[in-house]
Amino acid sequence: MHSPLAITMGDPAGIGPEIIAKLYRGLQSNGVVVIGDVGVMQRACSLVGGVHVHEIHAVGDAYPAEAMPVLQAGSVPQDLALGKVSAEAGKAAYAAIICAIELAQSGQISGIVTAPIHKESLKLAGITEPGHTEILAKKTGTEHFGMMLANDELRVMLVSIHVPLSQAIALVTFKNVLNTIKLAHQGCLAFGVAQPRIAVAGLNPHAGENGQFGREEIESIAPAIVAAKAQGFNTTGPFAPDTIFMRARKGEFDCVIAQYHDQGLIPVKYLGVERGVNVTIGLPFVRTSVDHGTAFDLAGTGKADESSLVYALRVAEKMIMLKS
């Protein structure tokens, strides 16, 4: 029997609390606790109906099976405006993440599922890391980590994450591509793929067309693929970015290495964010997340869709089961 999973509240001004409340309407306990502000979660439960909050003071405290157990982390002003960027919201979201990390590192929880945060609110709160992935890596001392986006049809691993496109191009190096291939292999194993087939997308149109449209494929990407093969990884490419995702979707590959953020996220999200999950590979514990943002325009309306959060929770449960 593994320890409980935890869901972090996300940005309290966004849809995170609402989709968590909607998830709990049909959850019936299931060993999942929420980390965040009790008042925020109470308001979200009142908005959607059908579930009530039970504050706990430690993981393992008893609570009614039909209730949402919430462990207080940080604090949120009662008059916090929904749908707006603020330092207060960023501080509260960050506090929940840090609490979850500490609980995971001490073994009190088996993994973390994160609701969406707003990067501008984090910045206003004085947080230097641009997103969940970087916060988790820094606080756990994880040097080699990466973001894998997945749904029922695609798995995509990114060479670079939250950086400007001009910097992302500079990050397409032999070392970074090789490390990403290794992380993709590790991620596929965590998903239960016994012999992962990794395909690598090129950076440039037509994967560079033998140097006509850029030399990154020749100088960095192809040598990394050769090195990965020599180390026993089933890796092929570089392939034209405009067709590689279609080939993977048809079952030819188990994971695609994308060279930058949008190259990988666009095809996954086009298939539907409600079926997508973001997984941080390389951490000492399982972490999954929704495949969408804070949707400030929907905050407080009761219209937010919890499907991606449900999917992220199910994936986390499966990964923990395979790990144990």
Residues 88 and 177 in one domain: no
Confidence of residue 269 (pLDDT cuts 50, 70, 90): confident
176 inside domain: yes
The predicted structure's pLDDT at residue 159: 96
Same domain assignment for residues 5 and 114: yes
The H or E element spanning position 133 is helix 132-140
Residue 276: the pLDDT is: 81
pLDDT greater than 90 at residue 78:
no
190, 322: one domain = no
Query: Can you give the residue range of the structural domain that contains 178?
Result: 152-271
The sheet carrying 68-72 orders its strands as 53-56, 68-72, 32-36, 5-8, 111-114, 286-290, 277-281, 146-150, 155-158, 255-258, 198-201, 235-239
Give the confidence band of 97 by pLDDT, cuts at 50, 70, 90.
Answer: very high
> Taking 90 as the threshold, does the pLDDT of residue 66 lie above it?
no
- Mean pLDDT to the nearest integer, 127-152: 91
Whether 257 maps to a domain, the answer reads: yes
Bridge pairing between strands 277-281 and 146-150: antiparallel
256 lies in the same domain as 228? yes
Angle at 22 between CA 19 and CA 24, to 5 degrees: 115
**Alpha-helix residue ranges (DSSP H) falling in the chain:** 16-24, 38-48, 87-105, 119-124, 132-140, 165-170, 174-190, 216, 222-230, 241-249, 261-270, 307-323
pLDDT at 115: 97
- Tens of pLDDT along 17-58? 999 999 998 775 567 999 999 999 999 999 999 899 999 999
Residues 201 and 236 in one domain: yes
What pLDDT shows up at residue 28?
A: 53
pLDDT computed for residue 30 by the predictor: 66
Q: Please tell me whether residues 21 and 108 are part of one structural domain.
A: yes
Segment 299-319, tens digit of pLDDT:
999 999 999 999 999 999 999
Q: What is the mean pLDDT of the chain?
A: 93
Residue 168 has a pLDDT of: 95
* Same-domain status, 10 and 132: yes
DSSP for residue 297: G
pTM of the model: 0.89
In a domain, 282, yes or no: no
Alpha-carbon distance of 147 to 149, in angstroms, equals 7
Which has the closest alpha carbon to 239: 253, 251, 229, 227?
253
Query: Do 312 and 234 share a structural domain?
Result: no
- Do both 246 and 310 map to the same domain? no
Q: What is the pLDDT of residue 161?
A: 86
Q: With respect to residue 280, please indicate whether it lies within any of the assigned structural domains.
A: no
Token duo for residue 119:
């990067």
pLDDT in tens, 147-183: 899 988 999 999 998 899 999 999 999 999 999 999 9
Both tokens of 216, joined, read 């990154």
Cβ-contact 109, 59 below 8 angstroms: yes
Identify the DSSP state of 300. Answer: T
Asked if 157 and 125 touch (Cβ cutoff 8 Å), the reply is no
With respect to residue 147, please indicate whether it lies within any of the assigned structural domains.
no
Percent of the chain with pLDDT over 70: 98
Dmax (CA) for the chain in angstroms is 65
Same domain, 114 and 5: yes
* Same domain, yes or no: 179 and 298: no
Residue in 87, 106, 96 with CA at minimum distance from that of residue 13? 87
Q: What average pLDDT does the segment 224-243 reach? A: 97
67 shares its domain with 30: yes
Is the link from the previous residue into 238 a cis peptide, with omega within 30 of 0? Answer: yes
212 located within any domain: yes
CATH number of the structural domain spanning residue 300: 3.40.718.10
Determine the pLDDT at residue 204: 93
CB atoms within 10 A of CB 125: 17
Residue 207: pLDDT over 90: no
Residue with tokens 């499966």: 318
Residue at 164 is within a domain: yes
How would you classify the pairing of strands 286-290 and 277-281? antiparallel
| Total number of domains constituting the chain | 2
Kindly report, residue by residue over 99-129, the tens digit of the pLDDT: 999 999 999 999 999 999 999 999 999 999 9
236 by DSSP, 3-state: which?
Answer: strand
pLDDT of residue 239 exceeding 60: yes
In a domain, 277, yes or no: no
**Percent of the chain whose predicted confidence (pLDDT) is above 90:** 79
**Distance from the Cα of residue 21 to its chain's centroid:** 19
Angle between helices 174-190 and 307-323 in degrees, nearest 10? 80
Name the 3-class secondary structure at 239: strand
One-letter identity of residue 141: G
